[in-house]
Amino acid sequence: KVEGTTENNVAETIVEIVVENLTETGVQATIAENASGAGIQAERGSKQEEYGLGLDFWKDLDLSKGSIELVLKDILEGDPTNISALECLGKRLVEKEDFARSLIVFQKLDVLDPNEMHWKYMKAQAFEMTGQHQLAKETFQNILKVEPFSAKALQVYNHSFN
C-alpha cells in the first residue's frame, strides 16, 4: 500500500483504469446507468447466469453506489466475457481474500483465454487457498508441461507439494 493512499483512492484508481481499458468496448453506457442508479435488466441477469456470475455470485459483495464491485458487475452484465473486467474482479476478490469467488472468475478467464498462463497460475493459487490441494497440484503440473522452466510454477510446486 502506498503511503498516504486510502482504500477509496485505490478504488477510484482501479475504476479509472478499468474505464480507460474498456473505453473502446462501449461500456460507458453501462457505467452511466450505474451512476444514475438505473436498475438491473432481467435480460442481463439471465446472461450472467449463463456465464456463472449470476445473482448468487454477487450476493454479500459491496454493491453500494460507486463501489468497484458494482461498476464491474454492470460492465460484466453488458459483456460477461470482458477479460479486463473479469481480471479486475478476480484480483479484487483475491485482495479481499474471497478465494472461492476468485476461483470462479479465474476459471472463467482460463476458458475465455486458454493460452494466457497468468489465469492458470491464479486458478492454481485459488485452488490452494480454498483447500483443493489436489486440483492445485494438477494445475501446477499442467503449467509445468507447457512451461517446464517456469521459476514461478517450480517454486510454488516444490514448496507446496514436495
How far is it, in rounded angstroms, from Cα 40 to Cα 93?
Answer: 22
Kindly write down the DSSP assignment for every residue of 77-143, as one continuous string: HH-TT-HHHHHHHHHHHHHTT-HHHHHHHHHHHHHH-TT-HHHHHHHHHHHHHTT-HHHHHHHHHHH
Q: Are 107 and 50 in contact (CB under 8 A)?
A: no
Q: Residue 31 is placed in which grid cell?
A: 457505467
How far is it, in rounded angstroms, from Cα 132 to Cα 156?
Answer: 15
pLDDT tens series, the chain, 162 aa: 445 545 555 555 555 554 455 444 444 444 444 444 434 444 444 555 555 588 889 999 999 999 999 999 999 999 999 999 999 999 999 999 999 999 999 999 999 999 999 999 999 999 999 999 999 999 989 998 998 888 877 777 777 776
How far is it, in rounded angstroms, from Cα 78 to Cα 7?
Answer: 27
Residue 42, phi then psi, degrees to nearest 5: -60, -35
Angle at 71 between CA 67 and CA 72, to 5 degrees: 115
